[in-house]
Structure 1
Amino acid sequence: MSKFFLTAILITAFVTSNAQEIKYYTVRPGENIFDKVPAEEIYAYDQFEQGIVVFKSGEKSAAMMNYHFFYEEMLFINGSKDTLALLNLGEVDCIYIKGDQYFYAKDRFVKMDTTVNDIKLANAGFFTTVAMKKLGAYGTATDGSMNQYVGFTAPNGRKVDLTPNTVTTYSFRKTLFIADKFNRFVPVNKKNIYNLYPEKQAQLKTYLQNNEVDFFSRKDIVALLVYMSK
């Protein structure tokens, strides 16, 4: 796979405000981040599994596939046994892997969780940078640090050259997504839930006033969707 550089890109604000930390990993200069993270948190599956890509045209294509949380890419193995990233994502309707269904939501794939009437609930996992500290004299970390949420595209895992003299802390996070019947997925937050129910604003407002809803909690969101389906 032709990925050789660690490229940091800012994640949009909605991801920062709707994500849950799961685990943190600290990487020192010259260390390989893929040696720090368990395999089950790098890929969605322990190995490449039979997958089916369903295109909006109705065509289908099968390949051994896996989702890479560092790359935030759907990978597949072609006829030459090369591992490649799936392209032309705007033409993809959905992907099935090992009984799971994935949809492409703007810049990442989300995995279907449940459906309540026409509303779909999904989740996505990804890595972010949460802090960077420069190394001072004798390899000690300075007080100056950058604490902001950024995402990155990682290389192929054989060797990672991080920013010189920088200790970087990453976290693996998950966030919930919701979509209407047209599969337009957006992160779960109060604003986006209100947008899903333009004709039930009063009902939704009453529910939120009478119930403490954690927008990071699958249980809370499913309960809200069930209530709003009545």
Structure 2
Amino acid sequence: MKTLLLASLVLLPTIHANASLNVARDLATANIENTQGERQNAYLFPGFVKGMVHFRNGTKRTALLNYHRLGGQMQFLNPPADTLLFTGKYLIDYIEVEERRFVLTDEHSDMEVIGTAGRVMLAARVQPEPAGNKLSHSGQHFSALEGNAAHALMVSNQGGNFQWENNASGHRWKLKTSYFLIDQNRVAHPATRRAFMAVYARNRRQLTHYLRENRIDFGNADDLQKLLGFCNDLTAL
């Protein structure tokens, strides 16, 4: 694993790699499960596929991309087939892979956009948590800024870079999905009643009435998408 530093984005983004890190080869087959107990691959896509990185200065470039669900991180391959992580994420507007959109954040890892309402977005982030006896996982830690956990590796964040260590403990992990509301200023908030009230403060009265009349589960994607659609209709009036 290497870290990618995006340093110059004038015409065509200039890419630099630093902090070379070793990663176990079996990371993609880590023992993780979904909520139904079904085996899941650590990567979202079967392999690295061609996607587009859109930068905030209006430029864009293609890359071989994949989303690593255990780390909550978008990764890509450079010509020598090194696996790279993005840094300088504030320079990136969004990433498109197979008609799916992703936004990159330093505070909450990287996440997939599952709904839009003008400049406001609803995004989903997955992270692993212990499956089974959580006590057996004591002393293990996988961090992508927010304490993710992994089977094959332990990871810590040192000065903005990731350090990977081997941890072949054989423990099982399951994926948990969290949702975020990304406001007009590209600030990500955990998707809660309070967040919606803050982002749509001008429509607080109508929003309060909607939430009173509709039982919204803020951990359910369908409910959040319906709520975002209602908010979008409010701002369109």
Q: CA deviation at 1:199?
A: 1.3
Q: CA deviation at 1:168?
A: 5.0
1:109 corresponds to: 110
1:12 corresponds to: none
| Aligned mates of 2:185, 2:201 — CA distance in 1 | 16
**Relative contact order (alpha carbons < 8 A, sep ≥ 6): 1 or 2 greater?**
1
Moved beyond 4 Å, runs of 4+:
156-159
Alignment of 1:162-177 (within 5 A): 162=169, 170-177=173-180
Q: Describe the SS at the equivalent of 2:167.
A: coil
1:200 corresponds to: 203
Q: Describe the SS at the equivalent of 1:115.
A: strand
Q: CA deviation at 1:158?
A: 11
Q: CA deviation at 1:42?
A: 0.6
CA deviation map 1:104-132 (0-9, x unaligned):
23331111112234432221112134754
Structure with larger Rg: 1
Are the counterparts in 2 of residues 33 and 160 from structure 1 also a CA contact under 8 Å?
A: no
Are the counterparts in 2 of residues 40 and 46 from structure 1 also a CA contact under 8 Å?
A: no
2:4 corresponds to: none
1:110 maps to a residue whose letter is M
Give the number of equivalent residue pairs.
191
2:221 corresponds to: 218
For structure 2, the residue ranges without an aligned partner over 5 or more in a row are 2-20, 34-38, 141-145, 155-163
TM-score normalised to structure 2 length: 0.67
2:167 maps to a residue whose letter is V
Aligned-pair identity (%): 20
2:32 to 30, 37, 51: 37
Change in 2 beyond 3 A, CA 1:133/1:88:
same
Are the counterparts in 1 of residues 75 and 86 from structure 2 also a CA contact under 8 Å?
A: yes
| Aligned mates of 1:117, 1:89 — CA distance in 2 | 22
Residue 160, structure 1, aligned to residue 167, structure 2: yes
| Aligned mates of 1:199, 1:87 — CA distance in 2 | 35
Are the counterparts in 2 of residues 128 and 150 from structure 1 also a CA contact under 8 Å?
A: no
TM-score normalised to structure 1 length: 0.69
Q: CA deviation at 1:134?
A: 5.1
1:151 corresponds to: 148
Are the counterparts in 1 of residues 50 and 97 from structure 2 also a CA contact under 8 Å?
A: yes
Q: Describe the SS at the equivalent of 1:79.
A: coil
Q: CA deviation at 1:97?
A: 1.0
Are the counterparts in 2 of residues 129 and 151 from structure 1 also a CA contact under 8 Å?
A: no
| Aligned mates of 1:132, 1:33 — CA distance in 2 | 22
For structure 1, the residue ranges without an aligned partner over 5 or more in a row are 6-31, 136-143
Are the counterparts in 1 of residues 127 and 175 from structure 2 also a CA contact under 8 Å?
A: yes
Q: CA deviation at 1:34?
A: 3.8
